[in-house]
Structure 1
Amino acid sequence: MTFDPVTAAQRFHHAINDLDFAVIDDFFADDAVYGSIKVGQLSGKAEIMAAFRRYFDTYPDQVAVDELTEAVSPMSARAVWRLKATHAETGEPLVRFGEETITFNDDGRIVSVDVTDYKV
């Protein structure tokens, strides 16, 4: 069976929308890296998952929608997304629009996520 990075990226984003941390954790390789202007450069599954948990503690009502998901190589996909969320303590709205490139290894685990925010 041929690996489909688009389907894998969509499943990953579905797990995020469901706040299914067990599934999110299972997606990442132990040595994965995650880069975003919002969180900086994260290294390793443990650091990435800690950042995910902190983020969703702060923005537990996030709703994200992929506007486009496409393969950019046999093992990576690019997703263009929009999201809205509310800060749990301050009530301040968060609106983001951007893209990410997700690269998978031969086992279908994420080895890198590179996030770029667009100007809203």
Structure 2
Amino acid sequence: MSFDPVARLVVYHDAINALDFSTIETMFAEDAVYDSGGLGGVVTGRGPIMEGFRSYFQAYPDQVATDSVIEPLDGRRVRSVWTLTATHSSTGDKLVRAGEEIVTFDAQGQILRVEVTDTAA
């Protein structure tokens, strides 16, 4: 393994918080799978994942997410525990979420799979 999965996850989360879609896109493998209610369930493929990200952040452009835990698991998997707040751009409704994310990287450091589980906020 020629990269640090924990450091790679920090880069990914920093790109999300900065709404740096170019960096986010380069982090996903072409055939990545993203499993989260926030993006509408299971999404397969870099293009559809990025469409989901762009749609979500159009609705919630002020999202602020914070990790309380980032820890390595086995191999190239990393776990994070996070909270986020955001405001819907059209309705003004507040969104508060908390959850756990397991991210699996390939040997080159691209994201193969993201599994998000929401917990009580």
TM-score (norm 1): 0.97
Give the structure 1 partner of residue 118 of structure 2: 117
Give the structure 1 partner of residue 7 of structure 2: 7
The one-letter amino acid of 1:41's match is V
Using the TM superposition, give the Cα deviation of residue 37 of structure 1 relative to its aligned residue in structure 2, in angstroms. Answer: 2.5
Unpaired segments ≥5 residues, structure 1:
none
TM-score (norm 2): 0.96
1:44-55 correspondence to structure 2 within 5 Å: 44-55=45-56
Is 1:57 the counterpart of 2:51? The answer is no
1:20-39 correspondence to structure 2 within 5 Å: 20-38=20-38, 39=40
The one-letter amino acid of 2:19's match is L
> 2:101, 2:114 within 8 Å by CA — same for their partners in 1?
yes
- Over the matched positions of the two proteins, sequence identity in percent amounts to 49
Equivalent residues, number: 120
The one-letter amino acid of 2:43's match is L
**4+ runs deviating over 4 angstroms:** none
**Aligned counterparts of 1:54 and 1:98: Cα–Cα separation in 2:** 20
Using the TM superposition, give the Cα deviation of residue 6 of structure 1 relative to its aligned residue in structure 2, in angstroms. Answer: 0.7
Using the TM superposition, give the Cα deviation of residue 36 of structure 1 relative to its aligned residue in structure 2, in angstroms. Answer: 1.0
Task: Kindly report the root-mean-square deviation, in angstroms, between the aligned alpha carbons of the 2 structures.
Answer: 1.0
Partner SS, residue 73 of structure 2: strand
Using the TM superposition, give the Cα deviation of residue 85 of structure 1 relative to its aligned residue in structure 2, in angstroms. Answer: 0.1
**Aligned counterparts of 1:13 and 1:117: Cα–Cα separation in 2:** 17
